[in-house]
Amino acid sequence: MVTVGIIILLIGMLVPVLGGIRASALSVQCLNNLRQLGSAIGSHRLSHKQLLPMTDFLPLVTEEGPEGGLPELLRSTLPADDPSWICPADFDPESLSTGTSYYYVPGLLRYTPQIQIPVAQALMPLILDGTLSPSQIERQRLALESRLVTNFYEAARDPRLFAVMSDTQDRHPIGDLNPRNGLFIDGGVGPLKDNEESDGTPFETDP
């Protein structure tokens, strides 16, 4: 009985430790995914005057599957079905239905007044002129949004201050914290501080 009790005690001590090791391993795999996605974004920037890709922050979920978003925009560099798009700790069917576990943060920033107001001001003369087709106007809009959002990131005092991509959910517990992993404009990756506890400044990032 004593031996059985000791075994049960040891198992009780090992389970949390093994759970922490597994969570850490999944987080490392997630960071590797983000590095891969960062390489794809970097390749796009090389052929687009160093501008960030401009698309929605998540693909649209349809009956035929996810459409649009960064996976579709970068499909020539990184296929939309590449495992890198999915965080290994993501088991949420709703999240997985989008085809990616990661937010593309510039796709959110593009809708802020700081971006949309100057874009509207720049496009209005072109729209009133009437010489450009709707598709040409759309290309101009995307180019302007891309330039302004890229400028926003490059103007930050610290390239690790704002994520370019991040987990859509909290999936990587570290002690009492549960930060989301992120990719930054300089290609580095690392966990973000909990948005409820900070202004989003990253910590413990690596090059």
Chain position carrying tokens 């992120």: 182
Dump pLDDT digits (tens) for 104-163.
999 999 999 999 999 999 999 988 988 889 999 999 999 999 999 999 999 988 888 899
- What is residue 159's predicted lDDT score, i.e. its pLDDT? 87
Yes or no: say if 204 and 174 are a contact pair by the CB < 8 Å rule: no
Give residue for tokens 């496009």.
123
Q: Which residues lie across from 104 on neighbouring strands?
A: 165
Alpha carbon 62 to its chain's center: 21
pTM recorded for the entire structure: 0.81
Distance, in Å, from the CA atom of 197 to the CA atom of 180, rounded to the nearest integer, reads 13
Three-class secondary structure assignment of 30-51: HHHHHHHHHHHHHHHHHCCCCC
Gap between the terminal Cα atoms of the chain: 52
Nearest-angstrom CA–CA distance, 115 and 131:
24
Record the tokens describing residue 90, joined without a space.
């993501």
In this structure, are residues 107 and 55 in contact, taking their beta carbons and an 8 Å threshold? yes
Tokens of 173: 């517990």
Residue that the structure tokens 């960062």 belong to: 38
Per-domain residue ranges of the chain: 2-156
Q: What is the largest CA-CA distance in the chain?
A: 89
Q: What is the pLDDT of residue 8?
A: 55
10-residue mean pLDDT series, the chain (207 residues): 54 48 84 97 95 96 93 95 95 93 96 95 91 92 96 91 94 83 94 53 38
How far is 169 from 150, CA to CA, in rounded Å? Answer: 24
